[in-house]
């Protein structure tokens, strides 16, 4: 199957016809359809298919127990109304790269696996990279059991409803010990490659990033009859906090986003009793991130007090800075025929986006390849990569896998 035909097969799954965006949330029907597609691709190639204890899917060429495996892959789930490329490009390119290596008659000296990590985006349960975090022991079973979606369904119940056994979830060091290198190909989520005129880049580092929940609690009351002076309106302190986030991020050269909000009782003619907003903030280094988030928290507390509103702030997740393995990164650059000197043709890029490769980098050597995104838009239906750039990405991934697994 060509890259093109695999891509076309995946394209309709979980796509909302009104928005044109993808709603492939963990353990839903759309996710199940993506998983079926993955299993079919594995079986069509005679690969050994398995699901690990955390619901991640694996397709093996060679003996998984032999050790020193080279693994590639990404994720198939999406953010709300996400694009087609974030995640799926890496999985489809992995199968296409294996096909290319087979057509080159590549002789594998190490096991090779393709993986689809579950729930990378955290769209349903609020925590990103659940599959890889569990595997790496960065999310405990107790924490995972507490994850709950917007309808009050817990992660274990959602897994169960999708036909998976939630009693097995947990750290999987034996599995990680079998892996010598993990390489994730991903659409770029910025315009660095477009600006440099390159089709493919190599990841250098991932910015530290996290998610914080701000609960502003005031008093519900009538929108028509309550004097302004008598209100305890949490929407006001929330709105001022959003503006403060923008200011703090600008001052520090970082980013801060309130992209999700819950309002109670959510009536046009009622002053809210609760405004719950989620802050996503990221910066090039820890110090800057601490400054931004500290500044936003301080401002939020002052605004809450000024409006007679109670405020609770909870850090829901955090991922420290990730410096990808230098030796593996240099090996990728060498394989791709370049070096890491200034002026190199395969640029090394930092990114503010989180990835399973970042989570796994604490346990095993990991690296990433990025494929040019002409507009840089991501987490949106407008996310795009040109097909010839995707094909160049497949060739680069095939070269890398050949260099790592066939020597």
Q: Tell me which residues touch ligand GLV (CB under 6 A).
A: 121, 128, 353-354
Tell me the closest approach of the beta carbon of residue 359 to ligand GLV, in angstroms: 11
CB of 56 to ligand GLV, least distance (A): 17
Closer residue to Mn ion in complex, CB, 55/111: 55
Instruction: Looking at residues 379 to 398 of the shown chain, list those that interact with Mn ion (rule: CB under 5 A).
Output: none
Closer CB to ligand GLV, 121 or 215, in the complex: 121
Other beta carbons within 10 Å of 161? 12
- 275 contact, one of ligand GLV, Mn ion, none, CB 5-8 Å limit per kind: none
Q: Pairing between strand 112-117 and 69-75?
A: parallel
Q: Which is nearer to ligand GLV, 70 or 139 (CB)?
A: 139
Look at residues 251, 187, 122 and name the one whose alpha carbon lies nearest to residue 382.
187
Q: Total residues contacting Mn ion (rule CB under 5 A)?
A: 2
Choose the binding region for Mn ion from 81-89, 174-182, 226-234, 290-298 (rule: CB under 5 A).
81-89
Q: Which of 171, 37, 133, 134 is nearest to 356 (CA)?
A: 133
Residue 128 binds: one of Mn ion, ligand GLV, none (C-beta under 5 to 8 A by kind): ligand GLV
Cβ nearer to ligand GLV, comparing 190 with 347:
190
The residue nearest Mn ion at its CB is: 86
Q: Judged by CB, which is closer to ligand GLV: 121, or 149?
A: 121
Residues 6+ apart with CB under 8 A from 184: 72, 73, 74, 90, 355, 356, 357, 366, 367, 368, 369
CB closer to ligand GLV out of 121 and 383: 121
The answer to whether residue 86 forms part of the interface with Mn ion (CB under 5 A) is: yes
Written as six digits, the tokens of 306 are: 């000024």
Q: How far is CA 34 from CA 27, 40, 325, in A?
A: 10, 10, 30
Q: Please name which of 223, 231, 235 lies closest in space to residue 303, comparing C-alpha atoms.
A: 235
Residue 69 interaction partner, one of Mn ion, ligand GLV, none, beta carbon < 5-8 Å per kind: none
Which partner, ligand GLV, Mn ion, none, binds residue 87 by CB below 5 to 8 Å per kind? Mn ion
In the list ligand GLV, Mn ion, none, the entry touching 354 (Cβ below 5 to 8 angstroms by class) is: ligand GLV
Please, which of residues 254-293 interact with Mn ion by CB under 5 A? none
Residues making contact with Mn ion (CB under 5 A)? 86-87
């Amino acid at each position: 199957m060509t890259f093109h035909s695999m891509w076309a097969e995946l394209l309709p799954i979980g796509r909302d016809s009104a928005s044109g965006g993808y709603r492939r949330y963990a353990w839903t029907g759309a996710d199940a359809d993506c998983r079926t597609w993955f299993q079919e691709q594995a079986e069509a190639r005679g690969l050994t298919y398995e699901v690990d204890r955390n619901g991640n899917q694996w397709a093996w060429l060679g003996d998984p127990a032999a050790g020193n495996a080279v693994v590639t892959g990404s994720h198939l789930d999406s953010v709300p109304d996400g694009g087609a490329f974030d995640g799926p490009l890496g999985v489809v390119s992995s199968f296409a790269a294996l096909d290319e290596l087979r057509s080159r008659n590549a002789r594998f000296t190490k096991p090779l696996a393709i993986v689809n990590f579950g729930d990378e985006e955290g769209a349903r349960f609020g925590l990103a990279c659940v599959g890889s975090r569990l595997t790496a022991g960065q999310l405990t079973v107790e924490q995972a059991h507490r994850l709950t979606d917007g309808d009050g369904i817990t992660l274990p119940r959602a897994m169960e409803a999708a036909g998976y056994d939630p009693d097995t979830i947990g750290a999987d060091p034996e599995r990680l010990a079998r892996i010598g290198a993990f390489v994730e190909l991903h659409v770029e989520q910025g315009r660095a490659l477009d600006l440099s005129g390159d089709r493919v880049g190599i990841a250098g580092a991932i910015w530290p990033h996290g998610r914080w929940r701000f609960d502003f609690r005031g008093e519900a009351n009538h929108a028509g009859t309550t004097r302004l002076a008598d209100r305890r309106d949490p929407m006001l302190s929330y709105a001022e906090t959003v503006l403060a986030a923008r200011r703090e991020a600008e001052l520090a050269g970082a980013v801060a986003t309130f992209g999700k909000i819950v309002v109670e009782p959510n009536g046009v003619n009622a002053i809210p009793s609760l405004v719950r907003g989620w802050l996503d903030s990221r910066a090039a280094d820890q110090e800057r991130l601490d400054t931004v988030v500290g500044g936003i928290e301080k401002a939020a507390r002052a605004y809450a007090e000024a409006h007679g509103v109670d405020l609770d702030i909870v850090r829901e997740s955090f991922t420290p800075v990730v410096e990808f393995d230098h030796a593996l990164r240099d090996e990728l650059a060498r394989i791709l025929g370049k070096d890491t000197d200034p002026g190199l043709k395969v640029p090394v890029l930092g990114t503010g986006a989180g990835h399973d490769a970042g989570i796994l980098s604490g346990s095993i050597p990991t690296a990433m390849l990025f494929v040019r995104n002409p507009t840089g838009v991501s987490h949106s239906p407008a996310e795009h990569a040109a097909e010839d750039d995707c094909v160049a990405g497949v060739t680069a991934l095939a070269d890398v896998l050949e260099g790592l697994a066939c020597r």
